[in-house]
Structure 1
Amino acid sequence: MDAAEPDAALDLSPFIIVYKDGSIERLVGNEIVPPSLDPKSSVLSKDAVYSKEAKLSSRLYLPPGVDPDKKLPLLIYFHGGGFCVESAFSPAYHNYLNILVAEAKVIAVSVDYRRVPEHPIPVPYDDSWTALKWVASHVNGDGPEKWLNNHADFGKVYLAGDSAGGNIAHHMAMRYGQERLFGVKAVGVVLIHPYFWGKEPIGNEVHELERVLKGIAATWHLACPTTSGCDDPLINPTTDPKLASLGCSKVLVAVAEKDLLRDRDLLYCEALKKCGWGGAVETMEAEGEGHVFHLFNPTCGNAVAMLKKTAAFISGH
């Protein structure tokens, strides 16, 4: 590092560095790609503004061969990246949504939300809820976006996300369960390696390096400076007294054997089963894989299996 450069106040490499002068350096997730007609999947995408005030857009995806007289399930996706890196327009997410939309035969809205630390929680949650309300504005077929007016089945809405996006998807389902959205029926939620945590180490966390555990906790405190800690229901939903109000009838949680979040995510599944929610919980585990492996290697056997499981979950097969 050059001597003239400011000292780091918080170094969360390889993701983000926050310097003492307030400047921020994002080390990953900065590349973006435009919407397109994907040559491999034939999925068509385009961007649409969902909040003029905050200048926020989502990326919409439409599968090939759409029957104009047939409505498609609607998937609303929230990207990961510790709330602080990546975007809905990152190559990895654009590629994954193309693959998922083609396999599941859904119309999808990939939500871009403002990131921390410039916009601390609850801003990412509030932006995501604004996106959901924008989607709901199409239920009568007269919203601003023709794809949603013409092709979306608002009686079959699914919320999904990975890592921090999985955390967001859970909280959107919680908010939907308590507030609802007129004309929208959230059927299911897909959480891929969701970013949940807790104060006391459990399972595989007990044997992890202290600096790794501290890094995960520090990422949360960066995202939510006003948090009560790692047992805050926002990061540890097993402590949430309102968990039973989750607003859907089924949940699929994907975990990876070598992901440090694995046991935390399985604990969430157990909490859902015991809290009185009453829906169905499914889990699937990818052996030998790490956190969000499917984004880095989407064609590997485990990633394809997860893709097919997700598609089947959405189609009801």
Structure 2
Amino acid sequence: MADNSLPRTDTQFAVGFVGLGDQGLPMATAIAASGYDLHVWARRQASLDALDDTSRIEHPSLRALARAVDIVILCVRTDDDVLVLLTEELLPATRPGTIIVNVGTGTPGNATRAAELCARASVSFIDAPVSGGRIGAEARTLTTLVGGSTEVFDAVKPLFDSYSAHVLHCGGHGAGQLVKLFNNTLLMMNQAGIADIINLATQAGIDPIALAEALKLGSGASEALVRTPTNSPVSLSDTAAHLSQVELLDMDLFDQAMTEAGIDAAEATARGIAGASALARVVALLNPEPATTVQGGRDE
């Protein structure tokens, strides 16, 4: 589908950012630090206050932000959130020629639907999910996977460079989301392999922590393994359980995307679900709960 608008070609856009959460906050900070005029809106003032000394222009409503910027970046939780913001707030107020970017993870089908909605309003849309988490956002080393027209990609790539180490154009609308889902699924399939090996090693009498540290140095290492901590001095049980739930949601998106594409991915889906489900158990084995001493009552 062709875009109905011609985006600006200079790099100094006025950039609106929506979604100042765990990953969005450092991304927005990086954008402002790179010299862009950063415009923000949030439902809670605390989210805006978390920007600290970051230079920004705060808006009282999302529509006010939309009227003031050249690009709107959405870093929100779900595709449903994106579509609601587009139809109820952004598109009624956004000027023709504006570019709307979704950096969250969703399905290719919803990216295409969002692009169609935007095109009717002479607005460009691009899906640009990121990989690397909060750590990558803070270090400005995210990988950004982009789906959309080459023209829009060329216009916004310098902006993506402000928080990314790698920016890849993967194809048309939805391609960025599809590549991100393949990436996430492979990560979880690797987690399933890690769980299998650690289970077998434990049965064989091998210390799982020593095994993991050895494997991280060998040819069997993977990004999934390298990112799995060992002997952490703090409890990771809540974090691992939360991440496991997030990964299971990603597997739902992958399954939906494959179904919409008419592809039988049952084996890969099952393997990814196994890896996501095993994450908390593996983290617990490699990071025994630190000892705590309770003195005079409940440990805070």
Q: Do these two structures clear the TM 0.5 threshold for a shared fold by scoring above it?
A: no
Structure 1 or 2: larger strand share?
Answer: 1
Tell me which structure has the larger Cα radius of gyration. 2
Greater helix share, structure number: 2
